[in-house]
Chain A
Amino acid sequence: MIQPEELVGDEWAEWYRLTPVQRWLESEKLWQTYLALGGSLDPEPDTQSPFFDARAPRPRLAHGRAGVRVLRRGRI
């Protein structure tokens, strides 16, 4: 019988082994971190969606800059 590790690697196998409710709770933690870091709830434009309208105005962030910014970056 094929094991999940053989197919998808350790991280995904671990995710698969969580119960649905555990996965839900883990994702909530991720949300809390994201929001604590100032992440915005604005979805990324989905250019492949049939609803995508390239001319639609995109909402601006209240303070005029992205919620999560790169403060330092390596050379590459």
Chain B
Amino acid sequence: MGGQACVFYGAAEFSRDMDLAVLAEAANLACLRRALDDLQAEVIAVPSFELQYLRRGHAIHFRCRHPHALRMRVDVMSKMRGVDAFPRLWKRRTTIELPDGTHCELLSLPDLVQAKKTQRDKDWPMIRRLVEAHYFQNIAKPNPAQIRFWLQDLRTPQLLVEVAQRHTRLCRRLISTRPLVAYAALGKIKQLEQALLAEESTEREVDRRYWLPLRAELEKLRHAR
């Protein structure tokens, strides 16, 4: 769900870790444990590799010792802020086949964008790139779901204006969920830029608050070690 998914969808990230979203169930974790054993992956830091932590929204961090993936980090999560539960993510996933026949399951683009709405600086330009790339790939013949996705998640003022002014009815319907599209419909770029910044800032603050209890729990676990 991390860097390689971003590359696939149109952003560019040279991410040296691997992020996995998994279904937090005992049988599934047993399979994952076997796969991680193949990579000679060991848990680093806290929390330990237990169902309860995944279900509470923590990430479990591993480092691989296998010579082909030496020191590679693997982060495993099951629950992400603002993102649907795993069964829905799985239904919407993108499956790709690599030249050697390996299949990779990626978060769908809208779910990846949602997962990237964090407190970190680096995630916000990434979201912009991801949605821009999708826009340019599909602008010739977009379907209603794509137009809705753009109106909900584009972060490029000029493109938002273009979509909002071309699809006024849908834009009007989305004003209640994303008020800044009203500026886009009116072509008010300055106000739109400010509203986008405010939107980002709010989302980052929400993410910080979401993590406060989880960070406190991590701190306790670190001290208990």
Contacts and interface: CB of A to CB of B under 8 A. Distances in A.
A27 B156 contact: no
A43 B16 contact: yes
A63 to B, nearest CB: 12
B221 to A, nearest CB: 10
A16 B139 contact: no
A27 B4 contact: yes
A21 B100 CA distance: 13
B162 A41 contact: no
Interface SS of chain B: mixed
Given A16-B136, A49-B120, A50-B211, A42 B71 contact: yes
Contact of B73 (A7, A21, A42, A50): A42
Contact of B17 (A8, A43, A59): A43
Interface residues of A, number: 32
B16 A48 contact: no
B17 A30 contact: no
Given A20-B9, A59-B71, A7 B17 contact: no
A48 B132 contact: no
A2 B59 contact: no
A48 B71 contact: no
B72 A41 contact: yes
B133 interface: yes
Interface string B1-42: 000100111101011110000000000000000000000000
A50 B214 contact: yes
Interface string A13-27: 101110011011101
Given A23-B10, A24-B8, A50-B211, A1 B45 contact: no
Interface string B125-169: 000010011001101000000000000000010110010000000
Contact of B45 (A34, A50, A51): A51
13 contacts: A1-B139, A15-B12, A16-B10, A20-B9, A24-B7, A40-B71, A41-B16, A41-B69, A43-B15, A43-B16, A48-B119, A53-B45, A53-B222
Given A15-B133, A53-B222, 4 more contacts: A43-B17, A46-B120, A48-B120, A56-B44
Interface of A: 1-2, 4, 7-8, 12-13, 15-17, 20-21, 23-25, 27, 30, 34, 40-44, 46, 48-51, 53, 55-56, 59
